[in-house]
Amino acid sequence: MKQKYKTVKVGRNDPCPCGSGLKYKKCCLGKEGLEPDNLKKLYAREYKIRLKDEADIEGIRRAGRLVVDTLRLLEAEIRPGIATDDINTLVHEFTIKNRAIPAPLNYRGFPKSVCVSVNEVVCHGIPGERVLKDGDIVNVDVTSILNGYYADANKTFFAGAPGPDARKIVRVARESLKVGMSMVRPGNTVGDIGWAIQRYAEGEGCSVVREFVGHGVGFEFHESPHVPHYGAKGEGIGLVPGMVFTIEPMINLGKRDLYILEDRWTAVTRDRSLSAQFEQTVLVTKDGFESLTPFDL
Ligand code: MF3
Ligand code: CO
Ligand code: CO
């Protein structure tokens, strides 16, 4: 069935009717992005992106508050001597207690409620017997489903006192997320985010993982679009209000190459160098962005 879209005459240099404050040509021109309803249909049809309305956003924001509270709870618990499975227990119990569901559990066969990735583990570490040592870095990636809405965020913590390499990679990963988020506004593209992250992280002598990317989120764990943490300025889908996606750069101290362990989940740097990551779920607003999983970077 073919859909008809209403069109309105707007000059190329006029302010964009979507309310972004940008010129029409820099924003929704060619995207029929004239009213929320048309934009929603257009993004669904062209990109399989499900734009969120106010009620959806409030739902994701609530799930996001729980995710951030979970990460905050871990702050006090992570220290040398605890096993990664202890982190799983803490996250699982706190999530359930708050009437939410840990999204990783049984997701495509993932066996635990949270991803815990230590040192050379890039992401998707499965909690188990590994005990944290003094100076380790440990990423905990929490995704909760609350009233049907998903929010996804992660942080890399220090166990005990970090050495200079640990401090550096965690600083660059944290800053990479910040730099990526600063690009989020209507009129910019998905490619602008990756471009800014890659330029910054490589400028610090680190490398950017390519096999895993940020993603749309909210109604499901992983939605369209992909949000790469590398790429070219101006490339890819235009950002419009109501888009919700994660930015989650994985940054390595050595080379970007990785491999997957026999468990089919754990991603490890090929050169065994340290890898760190920070993630937030962000909403594109009419003049910028709002983090739906806000914590200080
Ligand atoms: N939370 C991860 C992400 O940021 C995905 C983990 S999938 C799992 O996209 F199955 F390992 F949990
Ligand atoms: Co994610
Ligand atoms: Co995540």
Higher pLDDT, 32 or 10: 10
CA of 101 to the centre of ligand 1 (A): 14
Q: What is the pLDDT of residue 127?
A: 98
Which has the minimum average pLDDT: 11-20, 96-105, 278-287? 11-20
With a cut of 70, say whether residue 2 has pLDDT above it.
no
Distance between CA atoms of residues 155 and 68, nearest Å: 10
Distance between CA atoms of residues 168 and 103, nearest Å: 31
Q: What is the pLDDT of residue 3?
A: 41
Determine whether the shortest distance from the Cβ of 223 to ligand 1 is under 6 A. no
Q: What does the buried/exposed string (b/e) look like for 202-226 if buried means 16 or more CB atoms within 10 Å of the residue's CB?
A: eeeebbbbbebbbbbbbeebbbebb
Distance between CA atoms of residues 288 and 224, nearest Å: 20
| Residue 44 contacts residue 52 (beta carbons within 8 Å) | no
Full-model pTM: 0.91
- Strands of 223-227's sheet in order across: 223-227, 214-216, 244-247, 280-284, 289-291
Question: What is the average per-residue pLDDT within 170-182?
Answer: 98
Q: What is the pLDDT of residue 9?
A: 62
The DSSP symbol for 4 reads P
Q: What is the 3-state secondary structure (H, E, C) of 104-132?
A: CCCHHHCCCCCEEEECCEEECCCCCCCEC
Determine whether the shortest distance from the Cβ of 143 to ligand 1 is under 6 A. yes
The answer for residues whose C-beta is within 8 angstroms of residue 118's C-beta and 6 or more apart is 84, 125, 130, 132, 136, 137, 138, 139
Residue 229, token pair as written in the block: 């943490």
Determine whether the shortest distance from the Cβ of 124 to ligand 1 is under 6 A. yes
Over the stretch 184-194, which tens digit does the pLDDT of each residue have? 999 999 999 99
CA of 124 to the centre of ligand 1 (A): 6
Nearest CA residue ID for atom 2, ligand 1: 141
Question: How many helical (H) and strand (E) elements, i.e. helices and strands, does the chain have?
Answer: 5, 15
> Kindly report the CA angle at 243 between 241 and 245, in degrees rounded to 5?
140
Closest atom of ligand 1 to 107 CA is 10
Instruction: Say how many CA atoms lie within 13 Å of 162 toward its Cβ.
Output: 18
Q: What is the pLDDT of residue 18?
A: 63
Q: What does the buried/exposed string (b/e) look like for 82-92 if buried means 16 or more CB atoms within 10 Å of the residue's CB?
A: eebbbbbebbb
Distance between CA atoms of residues 168 and 156, nearest Å: 12
Question: What is the average per-residue pLDDT within 232-258?
Answer: 98
Nearest residue to 49 via CA among 213, 189, 242, 180: 242
Question: What is the average per-residue pLDDT within 1-20?
Answer: 59
C-alpha 67, offset from chain centre: 13
Ligand nearest to the CA of 217: 2
